[in-house]
């Protein structure tokens, strides 16, 4: 719980270790074998790049962790960019172009999802694809990122990078949270995302409310410094919901 790797997930540490000892293609092959992955996992890019953000008050913030975990209340994020401008890993654009189904989320919008769309050619390939495009809506909005935004406002954030109507379908977790859980999450800087169905329907999206949340709260290690929701997605129910679209 102390030292240079404090707060990093085991997955990130594992990938970093393999990356340092092997070339990217070799590292990916080792990960596939180690984790018994079905299918193919591709990094969007292997070129080092730093994430930057400009807030509504024109303040600039540099680095993913500083953007993700604000130490105090601040203005909302206006835009993000990567520097340098990374090129995609080989096969990424082709995989997006040939896919039957493209899925975004769940995850922190500005630090987990959108940075992938900033890599050269990725947003264009996503927009031009004829695949079904599904956004899995977050349960909670997070301080420093999308705190207080409704579901339709979350979707609107993507239009800056993907153009109008970036998705065909929206998968919405049915909100049913005990009062004590809501209070606990609010104290941690999280707020339930208001699901404004009418606004989303008017925008032309197919909506899929689903019971996909695990009822039992997850406890994280004290060394995990990232603010995370304690209510997790049920992976089996989530896949069944996606498969039914």
Per-residue pLDDT in tens (0 to 9) along the chain, 245 residues? 444 555 556 777 777 777 777 777 788 888 888 888 888 888 899 898 999 999 999 999 999 888 987 767 788 899 999 999 999 999 999 999 999 999 999 999 999 999 999 999 999 999 999 999 999 999 999 888 899 999 999 999 999 889 988 999 999 998 777 788 888 888 888 899 999 999 999 999 999 999 988 765 545 444 444 444 557 888 899 999 999 99
pLDDT at residue number 215: 63
Which residues are CB-neighbours of 243 under 8 A, at least 6 positions away? none
pLDDT at residue number 31: 82
The reply to whether omega before 46 is within 30° of 0 (cis) is no
pLDDT at residue number 216: 57
Quote the distance between the C-alpha of residue 172 and its chain's center: 15
pLDDT at residue number 6: 55
Distances (CA, A) of 56 to 46, 139, 149, 153, 190: 30, 24, 15, 16, 20
pLDDT at residue number 220: 45
Cα 171 from Cα 243, distance rounded (Å):
11
Say if CB 160 and CB 199 are below 8 A apart. Answer: no
Say if CB 121 and CB 90 are below 8 A apart. Answer: no
Q: Residue 134: how many CA atoms within 13 Å on its side-chain side?
A: 20
Cα 47 from Cα 33, distance rounded (Å):
23
Quote the distance between the C-alpha of residue 156 and its chain's center: 15
């Amino acid at each position: 719980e102390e030292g240079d790797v404090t707060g990093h997930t085991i997955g990130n540490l594992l990938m970093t270790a393999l990356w340092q000892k092997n070339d990217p293609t070799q590292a990916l092959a080792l990960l596939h074998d180690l984790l018994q992955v079905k299918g193919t996992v591709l990094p969007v890019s292997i070129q080092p790049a730093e994430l930057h953000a400009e807030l509504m008050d024109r303040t600039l913030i540099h680095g993913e962790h500083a953007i993700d975990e604000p130490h105090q209340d601040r203005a909302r994020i206006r835009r993000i960019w990567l520097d340098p401008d990374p090129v995609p890993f080989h096969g990424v654009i082709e995989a997006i172009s040939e896919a039957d189904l493209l899925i975004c989320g769940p995850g922190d919008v500005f630090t987990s999802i959108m940075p992938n769309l900033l890599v050269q050619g990725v947003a264009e390939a996503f927009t031009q694809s004829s695949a079904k495009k599904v956004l899995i809506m977050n349960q909670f909005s997070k301080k420093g990122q999308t705190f207080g935004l409704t579901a339709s406002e979350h979707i609107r954030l993507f239009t800056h990078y993907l153009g109008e109507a970036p998705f065909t379908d929206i998968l919405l977790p049915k909100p049913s949270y005990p009062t004590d859980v809501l209070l606990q999450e609010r104290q941690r800087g999280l707020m339930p995302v208001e699901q404004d169905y009418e606004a989303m329907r008017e925008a032309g999206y197919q909506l899929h409310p689903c019971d996909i949340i695990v009822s039992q709260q997850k406890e994280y290690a004290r060394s995990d410094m990232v603010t995370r929701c304690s209510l997790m997605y049920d992976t089996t129910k989530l896949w069944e919901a996606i498969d039914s679209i």
